[in-house]
Structure 1
Amino acid sequence: MASNFITVLRARCVAAAALSVAAVALGSAASAAHAAGAANGGPETPFLAENDQAMTRMMDGMSVKPSGDVDRDFTAMMIPHHQGAIDMAQVELRYGHNEQLRRIAQEIIVEQQQEITAMRLALGQPLPPSAPAPDQGQGRAPANAVPVQPASSTTMPMPMRMDQEMK
């Protein structure tokens, strides 16, 4: 069963890595668009600035020197990639208004935290201490916003069967 989990995890991570390569190609164009929007001083300025910071941290974190261990190098790149998704989802929660997208952002946070945990466990790395979600009172989060709870670092995520349909 554990072997199956690792196989599924690797397949999902390979797919995520392919998306990451596409993100790198689009990143400079998106960053330029964000910079242009932020320079205009419009209502989207704080969102664009925070999102750009998240993207920059993610891209910087993904630049790793090869260690000679493919698995470690892969996780060294994927963990910042997943953390970038978490950071961007938190920005959506602070500034977004569409309830469906806010729920998706909450799901992204939970799922990406679980995958980071799974990758660390697969390599026998220590887990970071649990911490509360960042304050969502910043920005323009609606009064009825549901706080996001971080994934427990003590539970192992359930493996997803590749033949299951994603919801």
Structure 2
Amino acid sequence: MRTPVPRTARTILSLVIALAISALCDSRAFTAGLQTATSDEAPFLAENDAAMKRMMNGMSVKPTGDVDRDFVAMMVPHHQGAIDMAQAELRYGHNEQLRRIAQEIVVEQQQEIVAMRIALGQPLPPSAPAPDQQKPASTPAAHSHPTSHRGMQMNMSNDTREEQ
């Protein structure tokens, strides 16, 4: 049985990982790796690179004088970056253990974003399916990942299936 990691420890660990990944993404070796990646890995690496850039840009907030608001303003893009990277793993990864961890990351990070916004009285974003749950217009209906788990969706809206 896995011992749960306290939220504060996870948050600190997430920040350390984000900083390490940021340093890696800025390195010439990482950029060269994107250029020499296999055709199977290139979309995953490009998606992660874009997620990291969005996250780092989003975390660069101008201080407002309100520590709590500044904390949330930095943490929401950080958590969204983790969600985006986990969704890339779900789209392209093959290891079932890592895919389950990625699913947990998506759920936990979404819950923490909601909790932080509620704590500040901020409005919540509208419910929407995750990007990997939507069928892009340019993708044929038969195209899907062989190990996708379409039944594992998180619906954050107030309506439930039982009411139908």
Q: The TM-score by the shorter chain falls in which range?
A: 0.7 to 0.9
1:98 and 2:102 equivalent?
Answer: no
Displacement, 1:35? Answer: 1.8
Query: What aligned pairs does 1:39-118 form with structure 2 within 5 A after superposition?
Result: 39-43=35-39, 44-118=41-115
Q: Which of 145, 149, 154 is the matching residue for 2:153?
A: 149
5+ long unaligned stretches in structure 1:
1-10, 156-167
What code does the residue aligned with 1:12 have? Answer: R
Number of aligned positions between the proteins: 145
Distance in 2 (CA, whole Å) between partners of 1:59 and 1:71 is 19
Higher relative contact order (CA 8 A, sep 6+): 1
User: Normalised by the size of structure 2, how large is the TM-score?
Assistant: 0.76
Q: Report how far residue 14 of structure 1 moved.
A: 7.4
Q: TM-score normalised to the size of structure 1?
A: 0.75
Instruction: Name 1:20's counterpart in structure 2.
Output: 15
Contact 1:64-1:77 within 8 A present in 2 as well = yes
Deviation at 1:41, TM superposition (A): 4.4
Conservation of the 8 A alpha-carbon contact between 2:83 and 2:106: yes
Q: Distance in 2 between the 1:62 and 1:54 partners?
A: 12
User: What is the alpha-carbon root mean square deviation over aligned residues?
Assistant: 2.7
Structure 2: tracts of 5 or more residues without a match: 1-5, 160-164
Measure the CA separation in 2 of the matches of 1:116 and 1:141.
29
CA contact (8 A) 1:89 1:105 kept: yes
String of CA shifts for 1:4-34, please: whole Å, max 9, x gaps: xxxxxxx835761464155324422244343
CA distance in 1, matches of 2:32, 2:22: 14
Question: Could you tell which deviates more after superposition, 113-122 or 22-31?
Answer: 22-31
CA contact (8 A) 2:60 2:74 kept: yes
